């Protein structure tokens, strides 16, 4: 028997605990959604905390879905705060179909929960590729925010995937030892461990890619600032001699007014001519240096 409970209240959990004789600690933890992945053994059953993700959740929003499981040879209870689409699909699949064995059915539930990670990671991979292309074209602060959102998603997934991977490495095959549970191939639970290893490696590789995207963003922004600084330096350098010349000839000394700039031609040559020559000279110099 599989009972899937979505956001039950404490009274309902207490009634279930009395009905199937659960330990008080199990009753307390069954409706607690602030736990780490763990497996606890009790007389006749086991309490397992698993995590999946909701692929429909947008990047940056809380995507982890905690599923508390009570497994015995007679029943499986899955308790979670929010609906999990993958469990809904599995429940609909077994509405008209019989499971091949009880152990395989438990494996199917565990696999349905853990198989939610690859879909989200595939979306993360596409987002990283898109962000890198957009950064190359035109980096903006929005790209940095998207990178941080993806990093938060990966950190959240890594926080639960690593303990689940280690848990299944140690305890997975012990599920087969539950009294009254119809036996099946033990390799199915090893497959869960292998799947979590691959998922953990993908999370680590995408974290590295995001670090590379962050470096690319910072490098692109730094290059852009360098170009702006170069252009501002060119403008300031051009205006430096202009400011000097106009300042020098703007002095009201008798010698400058009566002897140097005493005719029309001297005004055009020394007054405006030097400004044009200095501007053209700097422009030619910058062009040869490929600074402008």
Domain boundaries, the chain: 2-223, 225-288
Q: What CATH number does the domain located at 2-223 have?
A: 3.30.460.20
Give me the pLDDT at residue 92, please: 85
Structure tokens at 75: 């029943």
Give me the pLDDT at residue 269, please: 77
SS3 38: strand
11-20, 91-100, 188-197: range with lowest mean pLDDT: 91-100
pLDDT for residue 278 is more than 90: no
Structure tokens at 153: 């998603």
Residue pair 161/77 in contact by the 8 Å Cβ criterion: no
pLDDT for residue 169 is more than 80: yes
**154-164: buried (b, 16+ CB within 10 Å) or exposed (e) per residue?**
bebbbebbbbb
SS3 168: helix
Sheet order of strands, 2-6 included = 2-6, 76-80, 64-72, 45-53, 38-42
pLDDT for residue 186 is more than 70: no
Residue pair 72/42 in contact by the 8 Å Cβ criterion: no
Helix axes 274-288, 187-249, angle to 10 degrees: 150
Please, what is the average pLDDT of the chain? 84
pLDDT for residue 257 is more than 70: no
Confidence band for 292, pLDDT divided at 50, 70 and 90: low
This prediction's pTM: 0.73
Residue pair 181/106 in contact by the 8 Å Cβ criterion: yes
Give me the pLDDT at residue 248, please: 63
Give me the pLDDT at residue 55, please: 84
Regarding predicted confidence, which is higher, 255 or 80? 80
- How far apart are the C-alpha atoms of 250 and 262, rounded to whole Å? 14
Confidence band for 255, pLDDT divided at 50, 70 and 90: low
Which residues have CB under 8 Å from 60's CB, separation 6+? Answer: 149, 150, 152, 153
Write out pLDDT tens, residues 63-77: 899 999 999 888 899
Give me the pLDDT at residue 90, please: 87
> What is the DSSP secondary-structure string of 128-145?
HHHHHHHHHHH--HHHHH
Which residue has tokens 């993908």? 202
Could you tell me where the DSSP H helices lie in the chain? 10-20, 24-30, 85-93, 102-114, 116-138, 141-171, 187-249, 254-255, 264-266, 274-288
Confidence band for 204, pLDDT divided at 50, 70 and 90: very high
Question: Chain-centre distance of CA 18, in angstroms?
Answer: 42
Closest to 282 measured CA to CA, from 229, 228, 243, 238: 238
Write out pLDDT tens, residues 219-241: 888 877 777 777 778 778 777 77
Closest to 86 measured CA to CA, from 73, 69, 67, 61: 67
122-131, 198-207, 255-264: range with lowest mean pLDDT: 255-264
């Amino acid at each position: 028997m599989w009972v899937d409970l979505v956001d039950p209240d404490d009274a309902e959990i207490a009634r279930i605990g009395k009905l199937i004789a659960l330990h008080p600690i199990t009753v307390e933890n069954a409706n607690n959604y602030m736990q780490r992945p763990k497996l606890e053994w009790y007389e006749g059953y086991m309490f397992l905390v698993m995590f999946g993700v909701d692929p429909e959740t947008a990047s940056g929003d809380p995507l982890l879905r905690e599923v508390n499981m009570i497994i015995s040879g007679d029943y499986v209870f899955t308790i979670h705060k929010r609906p999990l689409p993958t469990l809904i699909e599995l429940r609909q699949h077994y509405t008209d179909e019989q499971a091949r064995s009880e152990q395989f059915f438990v494996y199917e539930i565990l696999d349905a929960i853990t198989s939610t990670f690859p879909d989200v990671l595939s979306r993360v991979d596409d987002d990283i590729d898109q962000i890198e292309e957009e950064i190359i074209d035109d980096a903006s602060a929005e790209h940095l925010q998207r990178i941080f959102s993806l990093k938060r998603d990966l950190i959240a997934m890594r926080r639960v995937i690593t303990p689940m991977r280690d848990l299944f490495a140690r305890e997975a095959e012990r599920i087969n030892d539950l009294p009254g549970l119809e036996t099946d191939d033990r390799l199915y639970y090893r497959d869960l461990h292998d799947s979590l290893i691959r998922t953990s490696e993908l999370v680590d590789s995408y974290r590295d890619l995001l670090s590379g995207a962050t470096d690319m963003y910072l490098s692109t922004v730094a290059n852009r600032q360098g170009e702006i600084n170069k252009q501002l330096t060119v403008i300031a350098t051009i205006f430096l001699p202009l400011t000097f010349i106009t300042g020098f000839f703007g002095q009201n000394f008798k010698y400058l007014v009566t002897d140097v700039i005493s005719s029309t031609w001297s005004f055009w040559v020394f007054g405006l001519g030097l400004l044009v020559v200095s501007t053209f000279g700097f422009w030619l110099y910058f062009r040869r240096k490929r600074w402008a």
